[in-house]
Structure 1
Amino acid sequence: MSQTVDRALTILPLLAEGPANLEQVATRLGVHKSTALRLLRTLHEHGIVHRQPDQRYRLGARLFALAQQAAENLDVREIAHPHLVELNARTGHTVHLAVHEGDEVVYIDKVESRYPVRMYSRIGKPVAITVAAVAKLLLADLPEPERRLLAERLEYPRYTSRSLTSAGAFLEELARVREQGWATDLGGHEESINCVGAPVRGPDGRAVAALSVSAPNVVVSADELLELLPLVRRTADAVSAEYSGQTPPKEARS
């Protein structure tokens, strides 16, 4: 039975490349045409593949419906939370998870630091979108026209002397974040708070969330916090892999 399942699953990547006829499927599987036909008929009955009028097979609508349903039911917060707890345990600092909703970026999870100093951020609360590291990560992932339109309609309050105060400066920062794959907020929202973050990506490579580590200057300096960037990125990669149903890289599991 396991061999049958393995053969059936091997058909799907082939058809993902485009329609294929019975002979092509049999050749890819290394089986007789009759065996390939039985597998294709079973998959066709379940809507996983579809037989075209030219007798070639392609992926069926049922497969796409199942994929969409699975994606809609994925809870990135539930998947990420154990990783956030581990990151917090290893660093001692506050860890956030955020998502992009409309014109806002909102915290959906938070693990508090182990020291007495607490941050004012709350789950469900929008972030300071023009300065927060998680916001930069999520907005940097938007297509360029969307980034530009959003940047032009945002307001740019001067929270501190390090805040970005114009659409042009914000777009330059997003371009830099998009290229490097990580982001910081070094005193841009609060002079005494620094933050470094990395994106959580879905199966299509798009950012579905962003996580970050934040700490006040009285605990660690900005340079010391930046030393945690490799760990932050490995954590984000591990969450991305689990969210996408992939095996995380070895270094992300260590």
Structure 2
Amino acid sequence: MSQTVDRALSILPLLAEGPAGLEQVAARLEVHKSTALRLLRTLHEHGLVYRQQDQRYRLGTRLFALAQQAMENLDIRGIVHPHLVALNERTGHTVHLAVYEQGEVVYIDKVESRYPVRMYSRIGRPVAITVAAVAKLLLADLPEAERRAVAEQLEYPRYTAKSTPDAAAFLAELARVREQGWATDLGGHEESINCVGAPLRGADGRVCAALSVSAPNVVVGAEELLQLRPLILRTAEAAGRDLSGIPSPQ
């Protein structure tokens, strides 16, 4: 039975590439056409595939409905929180999780530092979108036209001398973040606070959230904080796998 299920599920990635005929499906699965037809009929009965008039098969609307329902019910905070706690325990620093919603980047989780110094960030409050590392990660993943439109509509407060001055500088920074896959805020919002962030990617490869590690200069300098980048990236990757339902590599 497990082999049958495995073969049936193997059809879905094939059809994600585009419509395919019975012979093509059988060849990909390395099975007889009668076996492929039986599997396709079962998937068709459940609405997961659809047979077109040209007798080729494509993904069914039921599959997309299930995917949408799963995304709507996905508890990002609940799934990622253990990763934030583990990162906090490893580093001792404040860890944030943020998402992009309705034109704002909002913190949805936070694990406090073990040090007496506390950050003023609050769950549910928007971040300083033009300087925050998590904001850069989330906006950098937007399509180019949307990214440019957002950047040109923003105001650019001068929180510190290191704050992003204008849309051109912000777009250049987003391009760097998009290429390197991580982001920083080194004194851009508060002169004494540094931050390093990494993206969490969903099953479609798009950035669906971002996490960061922040610390004041009195606890750790910017260079020392940057040395945590590999750990931060690994944590974000592992959290993204959990969000996507992808098993961890053995």
Under a length normalisation based on structure 1, what TM-score does the superposition of the two structures give?
A: 0.94
Q: Does 1:36 align with 2:36?
A: yes
Distance 1:178 1:29, change over 3 A: closer
Specify the SS of the correspondent of 2:106.
Answer: strand
Q: Does 1:201 align with 2:201?
A: yes
Compare 234-243 and 10-19 and name the one that shifted more: 10-19
% identical equivalent positions: 80
Q: 1:8 & 1:36 partners in 2: Cα distance? A: 8
Distance 1:153 1:19, change over 3 A: closer
Task: Specify the code of the residue in structure 1 equivalent to 2:138.
Answer: L
Match of 2:226 in 1: 226
Show structure 1 runs of 4+ deviating over 3 A: none
TM-fit CA distance, 1:17: 2.4
TM-fit CA distance, 1:249: 4.7
Match of 2:154 in 1: 154
Q: Does 1:53 align with 2:53?
A: yes
Task: Specify the code of the residue in structure 2 equivalent to 1:208.
Answer: C
Task: Specify the code of the residue in structure 2 equivalent to 1:143.
Answer: P
Compare 4-13 and 182-191 and name the one that shifted more: 4-13
Runs of 5+ unmatched residues, structure 2 = none
Match of 1:18 in 2: 18
TM-fit CA distance, 1:132: 0.7
TM-fit CA distance, 1:146: 1.5
Q: What root-mean-square deviation, in Å, do the aligned CA atoms of Structure 1 and Structure 2 show? A: 1.4
Aligned counterparts, 1:1-254, within 5 A: 1-249=1-249
Q: 1:211 & 1:177 partners in 2: Cα distance? A: 14
Runs of 5+ unmatched residues, structure 1 = none
Specify the SS of the correspondent of 2:200.
Answer: strand
Q: 1:140 & 1:134 partners in 2: Cα distance? A: 10
Task: Specify the code of the residue in structure 2 equivalent to 1:24.
Answer: Q
Distance 1:74 1:221, change over 3 A: same
Task: Specify the code of the residue in structure 2 equivalent to 1:226.
Answer: L
Specify the SS of the correspondent of 2:188.
Answer: coil
Q: 1:28 & 1:182 partners in 2: Cα distance? A: 38
